[in-house]
Chain A
Amino acid sequence: QVQLVQSGAEVKKPGASVKVSCKASGYTFTSYYMHWVRQAPGQGLEWMGIINPSGGSTSYAQKFQGRVTMTRDTSTSTVYMELSSLRSEDTAVYYCAREFQQQLDYWGQGTLVTVSS
């Protein structure tokens, strides 16, 4: 069965970077795009970007351009999302989600990133 398993919670100081992983299993990793979505406490869902695990191409929301980098490792079927220059407003749960025919059909369990001095 399809599973997306994310790395554990992180606590970071302002100005630092965080790298969250999402390990996929149960399907052909390179056949489905992967998205990253975040959710600040008590807030809605915010789309961050997308990576094509096959070639590694990416597209990021304008809000995160210059601060976010999405990469993949095909040998371990894992995608990564790195966010730099962290500020308190980046405190959120970060989700990876698989795309199937333009819908997000499977989601990771979420990774809480807390930014605090």
Chain B
Amino acid sequence: DIQMTQSPSSLSASVGDRVTITCRASQSISSYLNWYQQKPGKAPKLLIYAASSLQSGVPSRFSGSGSGTDFTLTISSLQPEDFATYYCQQSYSTSMYTFGQGTKLEIK
């Protein structure tokens, strides 16, 4: 099975900060990497797909990069509504779509 490891597990930041979250796959997954945002009590929301493509309706301050085993999600200027938990997910192995353990982004 492909394992996904996110870092950090939690992060404190201020409104206006630039934030980067990292996701590492246990083997190469090409660009089959998606990012989701989840707020308390809500279903996850797709932000980035295929490593770097912005889902329709998602603000342009979100961006993704990487390929192979190392990926990043960047928020260029944090807004109050961005404080949430972020998950990466690989879709390379179509019989097992594993998630990272999540990164909780909190207000400093």
| Chain A residues within CB distance 8 Å of chain B | 35, 37, 44-47, 50, 59, 61-62, 95, 97, 101-105, 107-110
Say whether A102 contacts B94, CB under 8 Å: yes
Q: Residues of A contacting B34 with CB < 8 Å?
A: 102-104
Answer whether A103 and B50 are a contact pair too, CB < 8 Å, given A45-B44, A109-B43. Answer: yes
Say whether A104 contacts B99, CB under 8 Å: no
Say whether A47 contacts B50, CB under 8 Å: no
Q: Please name 15 further chain A to chain B contacts, defined as beta carbons within 8 Å, in addition to the given A102-B32, A103-B55, A105-B49, sorted by A numbering.
A: A45-B36, A45-B38, A45-B44, A45-B87, A47-B96, A47-B98, A50-B97, A62-B1, A95-B44, A97-B44, A102-B50, A102-B91, A103-B91, A104-B44, A105-B46
| Chain B residues within CB distance 8 Å of chain A | 1, 32, 34, 36, 38, 43-46, 49-50, 55, 87, 89, 91, 94-102
Q: Residues of B contacting A61 with CB < 8 Å?
A: 96
A58 nearest CB neighbor, chain B only: B95
The contact of B102 among A37, A44, A62, A97, by CB within 8 Å, is A44
Chain A's nearest CB lies how many Å from the CB of B46? 5
Chain B's nearest CB lies how many Å from the CB of A41? 12
A4 to B95, CA, bound (A): 22
Chain A's nearest CB lies how many Å from the CB of B2? 11
Q: Residues of A contacting B101 with CB < 8 Å?
A: 44
A91 to B98, CA, bound (A): 20
Say whether B102 contacts A45, CB under 8 Å: yes
Say whether A44 contacts B87, CB under 8 Å: yes
Q: Residues of B contacting A102 with CB < 8 Å?
A: 32, 34, 49-50, 91, 94
The contact of B99 among A47, A62, A101, by CB within 8 Å, is A47
A44 to B34, CA, bound (A): 15
Nearest 9 CB-CB pairings of A with B: A102-B91, A107-B43, A103-B49, A59-B95, A44-B102, A45-B99, A103-B34, A47-B97, A44-B101
Q: Residues of A contacting B99 with CB < 8 Å?
A: 37, 44-47
B38 nearest CB neighbor, chain A only: A45
